[in-house]
């Protein structure tokens, strides 16, 4: 994702007065929170690092929320713009990923409510992660039979549909837990729930999915 410098008005450059970033930094050696604190101090290269690191997970998460490739790109760009615009108030109390997903979920929820009567795209992209495993299918595997492909498509379509049909908070919790790899505490922080409430929320969601998908097991 290219960073639109025009949309980042107000950010400081490495050479600006008051910003001392003379020594090259290995961002990989820092926590994401520490990298974001450098963004707060005017380090735009640190911001670019975070965009590159989290762009793909954000695309995956937002696509499952929006079900539209073009809208997903717009939402992800908006997520990172909000990250940049909020840099001055970032305080690293929570993990950076938790803060990021809180921004993303708020944006996704607002979008879903504004477009609840619109139909999602029917197309499934080749690089879309497998709806059951969260992994991109290995194209080098032995080619399945036509019947196996049909059954797999039907099963994945059913999973996608039933996940979409979950109540809003259950859907977001499942997407973050199953596909994004967030733990209970992170999800609880994003949704502003207790860990026990989050576990209960996920239990209800997975139980609903098990019941709805029992014919595919």
Domain ranges of the chain: 1-122, 145-217
**CB–CB of 27/49 below 8 Å?**
yes
Per-residue pLDDT, 217: 55
Q: How many whole angstroms separate alpha carbon 205 and alpha carbon 209?
A: 6
**Predicted confidence (pLDDT) at residue 87 exceeds the cutoff of 50:** yes
In this prediction the pTM is: 0.67
Confidence at residue 125, expressed as pLDDT on a 0 to 100 scale: 36
Question: Region 55-80: what's the mean pLDDT?
Answer: 91
Predicted pLDDT of residue 207 = 92
Once rounded to an integer, what is the mean pLDDT over residues 34-61?
Answer: 95
Q: Under CATH, what is the fold of the domain 1-122?
A: Rna Polymerase Sigma Factor; Chain: A (1.10.1740)
- Least confident stretch, 30-44, 49-63, 144-158: 144-158
What CATH class is the domain 145-217?
A: mainly alpha
Indicate the average pLDDT of the chain. Answer: 78
């Amino acid at each position: 994702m290219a960073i639109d410098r025009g949309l980042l008005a107000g950010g400081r450059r490495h050479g600006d007065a008051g910003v001392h970033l003379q020594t090259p930094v290995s961002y990989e050696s820092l926590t994401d929170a520490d990298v974001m604190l450098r963004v707060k101090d005017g380090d735009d290269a640190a911001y670019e690092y975070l965009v590159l690191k989290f762009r793909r997970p954000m695309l995956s998460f937002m696509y499952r929320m929006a079900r539209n490739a073009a809208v997903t790109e717009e939402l992800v760009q908006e997520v990172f713009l909000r990250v940049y615009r909020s840099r001055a108030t970032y305080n690293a109390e929570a993990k950076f990923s938790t803060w990021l997903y809180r921004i993303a979920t708020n944006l996704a929820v607002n979008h879903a409510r504004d477009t609840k009567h619109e139909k999602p795209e029917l197309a499934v992209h080749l690089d879309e992660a497998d709806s059951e495993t969260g992994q991109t299918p290995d194209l080098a595997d032995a080619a399945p039979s036509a019947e196996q492909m049909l059954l797999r498509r039907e099963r994945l379509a059913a999973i996608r549909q039933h996940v979409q049909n979950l109540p809003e908070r259950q859907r977001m919790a499942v997407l973050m837990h199953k596909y994004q790899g967030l733990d209970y505490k992170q999800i609880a922080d994003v949704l502003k729930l207790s860990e026990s409430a989050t576990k209960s929320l996920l239990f209800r969601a997975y139980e609903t999915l098990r019941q709805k998908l029992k014919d595919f097991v």
